[in-house]
Structure 1
Amino acid sequence: FNIKIDIKEDDINLRFKKYDRNNTDDSIQMKNFFLSLGLSLQDILFNNGEDLLNEPMPILLLTPEMKWMVCVSGGQKIKLVNARGELCYVEIEDEYLKELSAFSILPLN
């Protein structure tokens, strides 16, 4: 499927100052926000880039500082889509990966 999500950065910044994947309230707020866009958001649990190989793509990666990344392939080097829509490979330390939250997105039927 082809999804284009048009979210204004100010809207995200007003709703979310930070995201803690261990905080149930943050998780509910994030899922409700995507539900309002007609999308279902599912948490993905992982420990390293190899774990992402078994997940359906694309995956949204989110830092604790609310920086978003779109992941299209896992492995030792993670394939990301940059802001210009170009593909790039990034090697991310496992310790830093453990701080990221990962989500799969599906349209509601």
Structure 2
Amino acid sequence: AIALNHKYQSIVAGTSCTNYDIGCIGDAFAQCVWGTWVATKCPVGTVCAALPNVGAPGTSIACTTPADRDMRIAITGATLKMKRHRRHDRIGSRRH
């Protein structure tokens, strides 16, 4: 989950991607639609994050509180060392 959260810091809305990929752009949930990243804002007070699955291997991508994200990662025994980068690109949802 930590590695995915670091990877997501480099995704930019409107850039090319592989259809059906999901991730995060800043604090927004992102989906690859027709080869382009499209972001949807998370509800107020939440951020998009990769989270370790509970009771099964792998990760899930979801809007969650920063405290919940940090707790779930800490439970795995991993050390959270995320640096947030401010993005100046416009994040919003697009409708097709």
On whether the aligned pair clears a TM of 0.5, the verdict is no
Bigger helix share: 1
